[in-house]
Amino acid sequence: MKKHAVKGISEKEMAELLHLPSIQRKLLINRGIKSAGEAVKFLKSDYNTHLHDPFLMKDMDKAVDRIIKAIKNDEVITIWSDYDADGIPGAVIFHDFFKRINYGKARFYIPHRNDEGFGLNVGAMDEVRDYGTNLLISVDCGIVDVDAVDKANELGMEVIITDHHKEQEGRIPKAFAIVNPNQKACGYPFKGLCGAGVVFKIINAILQKDRFDLKEGMEKWFLDLVGIATLSDMVPLVDENRVMAKFGISVLRKTQRKGLLSLFRNAKLDISNINEDDIGFTLSPRINSASRMGEASHAFDLLTADNFSDAEKLAIFLEKINNERKGITASITKHVKKLAKERGVVENGIKVLVMGNPEWKPTLLGPVANNLSDEFNIPVFLWGRSSNDIKGSCRAPDGHNVVALMQGVKQGVFKEFGGHSCSGGFSVHEDQIHFLDEELNKAMESMGELPEVEDDFIDSELNLDEVNEDNWKLIEEVSPFGMDNPKPIFLFKNAEVAGVKSFGKENNHTEILFKNSLGRKIQAISFFIVPADFEKKIGKKINVGDLINLTANMEKSFFRNRPELRLRIIDIF
């Protein structure tokens, strides 16, 4: 598709949705919604009718019966969760459920990200058994942990795996039950659930069999956690995920969780207007910083805090270590970008970027890899050293699959790996690290040509008069935005500049003012880009009175509790 071109829509496609306003019609068609029925389901998500029966998931019935049996028999259940903004909320859902039914034999184990790494590990199984554990339940992990499950079985524990990551060919753990929509043998109609989403389906299934005296519909209050996890993890915001994210935001705006209220207050967020950006850019990084910079249990403790004194201390602590993380990550990102450009990533047509340094902290490399993947539009693998192990993170743009890519590497290079299509983690044998770059690029070549990624997917051309509240409400109905439901991009041609300046404490952001035909000022902003960067791109200084073309998102800011409709600049040309 030509850069800065608006995607064409046929008359037949338009005719199917004539009952909708033009701007909404275009947005839906561009997202694959092409019938009136699909449009109703997408725009009017219904909790009661648009979620699938949890018992359609393989092993759900078996897992639920075993959990109910453990509760009735007062057995010790240990929840082993991943340490990120998907696994932690998933563990908290179990915590809150057990608390509500007054079940006191639940234990929680969150592995140390640096020392233990991702997933169930053999070394901790003795400790888990020492809790008196009869039933071990994984959250957001376990599907590749064959040896750890074997060890748990050997120690007399039964294991239920709840996960959403892809299985490794020919290596399926011998668990009592595996609840994972992504396992090949599972016929569940939607494969895109996050880990906490799978846990939510399990809780719903339990309550279908036995409500444990809980009020009907009580489980909906867990949707704030499901919403956080769904919007934090790299899962598609369609089908069930759209329903749970949308209702999750609604519940989050009413949350009584003391930890979240304290965190929002410290981050100066208006809880009544929380949206997916606030979750992705403010809440998730603080939850993830707990494991990246220390102990993931701090995030778990925040979300389960039952008094404001503890909650406030934890919120302040997470704010502090998140700021430390941002500083270190920014420094690594700057260094890695410099190295990547010296290697001539674009000029030399590098297909997979692989870089590492024993001094880099593996827990901080995910956001760095994501940044580079966005910039160079290729898979990026970064590694560092943790204790005595070489570990790393990988990210890739849409259209790629890092798990398939790692599966294509010859055996003996990776010790372990896993993840989603666009996001993953790995560890490498010490004597193979120098071959990782070559082997990944070989695997990439063997996968053949991938579809060319479009430069800018422009939904529609608008004029400045159309930046108004009515259109904003129509756009908002299509939210929340994320993977497979991207933020709408609009093209504005010959927009007259009414003012341009840099702003922020370091004057490192740009504001350009425009005027519509009624004389109302329209603000357009871009963070971490100064006017000189745009001027260098278009080859001239931007002056008042100039006519420029731009692509932008439309958004509503609530900065300092002042609602303001504005544009977020993507490109100027």
Domain assignment present for 20: no
Domain assignment present for 421: yes
Q: Which of 547, 461, 562 is nearest to 512 (CA)?
A: 547
16 pLDDT tier (thresholds 50, 70, 90): confident
Instruction: Express each pLDDT in 19-33 by its tens digit.
Output: 999 999 999 999 999
Report the pLDDT value the prediction gives residue 469, as an integer from 0 to 100. Answer: 96
Total domains in the chain come to: 4
241 with 259, same domain?
Answer: no
Q: Which of 205, 231, 251 is the last residue of a domain?
A: 251
174 with 71, same domain?
Answer: yes
- Residue 302: what are its φ and ψ, rounded to 5°? -65, -50
Instruction: Express each pLDDT in 125-160 by its tens digit.
Output: 999 999 999 999 999 999 999 999 999 999 999 999
387 with 486, same domain?
Answer: no
268 with 192, same domain?
Answer: no
Q: Which of 425, 446, 467 is the last residue of a domain?
A: 446
Domain assignment present for 15: no
Q: Are 108 and 77 in contact (CB under 8 A)?
A: no
Q: Are 427 and 418 in contact (CB under 8 A)?
A: no
Domain assignment present for 338: no
142 with 170, same domain?
Answer: yes
Calculate Rg over the CA atoms of the chain.
Answer: 24
Query: Lowest-pLDDT range, 348-357, 370-379, 444-453?
Result: 444-453
Domain assignment present for 33: no
CA distance 106 to 95: 8
Domain enclosing residue 423, as ranges: 343-446
260 with 316, same domain?
Answer: yes
The answer, yes or no, to whether residue 288 has pLDDT greater than 70, is yes
206 with 260, same domain?
Answer: no
- At 347, list the tokens: 């000029």
Identify the CATH number of the domain in which residue 234 sits.
3.90.1640.30
262 with 365, same domain?
Answer: no
- Is pTM beyond 0.85 here? yes
Report the pLDDT value the prediction gives residue 13, as an integer from 0 to 100. Answer: 74
Domain assignment present for 14: no
Domain assignment present for 1: no
110 with 238, same domain?
Answer: yes
Domain assignment present for 304: yes
Identify the CATH number of the domain in which residue 403 sits.
3.10.310.30
Q: Which of 244, 240, 202, 204 is nearest to 227 (CA)?
A: 244
Q: Which of 52, 51, 223, 75 is nearest to 160 (CA)?
A: 75
Sign of CA dihedral 189, 192, 195, 201: negative
Q: Which of 293, 328, 363 is the last residue of a domain?
A: 328
433 with 311, same domain?
Answer: no
DSSP, collapsed to helix, strand or coil, labels residue 502 as strand
291 with 410, same domain?
Answer: no
Sign of CA dihedral 327, 331, 336, 337: positive
Q: Which of 309, 302, 307 is nearest to 288 (CA)?
A: 302
193 with 113, same domain?
Answer: yes
